Structure 1
């Protein structure tokens, strides 16, 4: 069995799909993605609540819609995590002051941008480069993406809340057949998905420094954006289902159970974001540095397994 596997790997060692998978797995270990995701959690933890302050104050005082709608969507989070966020959001909605609106938004965006700035730094590391932007430019880029995330959440809520309201209002005057209603329902979920893909595509496009950014085509950044979008969605749903049905962190950690769940969820989100960056960086390497793909390539996880032989292995090891 081992010899057949080695023979198959050697025979397909230069196939594009295997080369991509081989290089990607190697890079995940070489770039210490698990450790990088853990360090990113620290910045996300410091950023998430200032981000919520900026978001909720923007919603509350622009009168777009009632910010309490946000509370309904917290139920999508794992129970322990939802409890922490719900209490914070509820207190904020009922205690925010209009006089501190601008100050809270600016402070929230400034602090929240620190987490995004760390994501940008980690994406640059995936390409093997170091961030050399000035502090002002880097901070401005991070703030812009923080604002983009606020817009994304607003559009998400609008599409979900007002989408149903519009559907109900139209149904009162016009008899909609099942196909039209299905189309509208699909659009309600497709729109947020598209928004997320756009945001992540822009993030993966503008995070690297200019020398690399100029070479990044849509074909090289869309795969990572799609992976991050789908991955975060599936991970959040699966993790929430697991926590709600198969695990009880409060038994193990007591009152810290909610915090532990939050940290694990943030870690998984960070991992998906960085995996998306590594996917794009691997495609970039294969496109612009084809010599590095030739066997025996240095960034290979299977090289040590099958060796550098020139004929198929015939005996098991």
Structure 2
């Protein structure tokens, strides 16, 4: 138990020394700036999928978004469905991807600080790579929404044709399982491929699992607190939703970086640094 506490202190000390909260603040700021064009682009792309209707989409958003932010996101969805998808795509595509890549760039710099750099990439090349990661993230969001919306249809098909595996399928496509699995995979890939110094995939699983559980636990606690005890609306008025979103995202990115520090602690780099010191 004492050893575990000492390890936790070592990880937190490096987290503080690396100034991860600064990178988290930077990443959350640029992500919020890019959030609305990004959401508009994402929703416009989803609108092109005939199996996902407006009511399906709003139902999924209701289960995903905290109550304080629902009116804000619903307004964006309503606005998109009143315009043609082609118009929205043509106006927001470049701005959304380029802006969102700035937030990804801040995350990359934070991970480089955690794991250390091997080389310095050209800025334009780095932005293009981050834009590519942003597109991949967008596709993951679409696939997740499709799975959540069509989950019951998939379950019905499997029950009819493959009754033996129906129970397993029901568990696999359940909301919480999908969320846990996708977040863990995304975080593992993020820790492995986003830093300039590439990491071993399997060694990133501890931090990815920690970040997944941390995000879900914090989001749950965050929602309870601000639904029952917070008076932020008195202080910030119409800006409450934006402030809450930025605060939530800031803490979540801090958890993401803390997961990276955990992976670094259990990697060979930590041991080499300790021997060198």
Give yes or no for contact 2:45–2:85 (8 Å, CA) kept in 1: no
Residue 106 of structure 2 is matched in structure 1 by 118
Match in the other structure for 1:27: 14
Match of 1:184 among 169, 172, 186: 169
- Verify the 8 A CA contact 1:34 1:271 in the aligned structure 2: yes
Moved more, 122-131 or 137-146: 122-131
Which segment drifts farther, 158-167 or 190-199?
A: 190-199
Q: Secondary structure at the match of 1:65?
A: coil
Task: From the CA coordinates, give the structure whose radius of gyration is larger.
Answer: 1
Alignment match, 1:47: 34
Q: Secondary structure at the match of 2:133?
A: helix
Moved more, 53-62 or 161-170: 161-170
Q: Is the 8 A contact 2:27 2:103 kept in 1?
A: yes
Give yes or no for the alignment of 1:222 onto 2:205: yes
Q: 1:72 aligns with which of 38, 42, 59?
A: 59
Shift of 1:100: 5.0
Alignment of 1:1-317 (within 5 A): 17=4, 20-63=7-50, 65-66=52-53, 69-75=56-62, 76-99=64-87, 101-129=89-117, 132-168=120-156, 180-181=166-167, 183-189=168-174, 190-209=177-196, 212-213=197-198, 216-284=199-267, 285-291=269-275
Does the CA-based 8 Å contact 1:116-1:142 persist in structure 2?
yes
The C-alpha deviation readout for 1:131-184, integer Å capped at 9, x for no partner, is 72112321222122212211221222122221112334666x58969x944x33
| Superposed displacement of residue 74, structure 1 | 2.6
SS in structure 1 opposite 2:230? coil
Can you give the 5+ residue segments of structure 2 that lack an aligned partner in the other structure? none
Q: Is the 8 A contact 2:215 2:252 kept in 1?
A: yes
RMSD after superposition: 2.8
Structure 1 unaligned regions, length at least 5: 1-7, 298-317
Q: Contact (CA 8 Å) 2:38, 2:92: kept in 1 or not?
A: no
Distance change (3 Å), C-alpha of 1:258 and 1:101 = closer
Tell me if structure 1 keeps the 8 A contact 2:80–2:88.
no
**1:20 CA drift (Å):** 3.5
Please tell me whether the aligned partners of residues 72 and 241 of structure 2 are also in contact (alpha carbons under 8 angstroms). Answer: yes
Residue range with higher mean Cα deviation, 91-100 or 272-281: 91-100
Higher fraction of helix:
2
Alignment correspondent of 1:305: none
Distance 2:37 2:73 in 1: 12
Q: Secondary structure at the match of 2:82?
A: helix
| TM-score using structure 2 length | 0.85
- Per-residue deviation at 1:79? 1.9
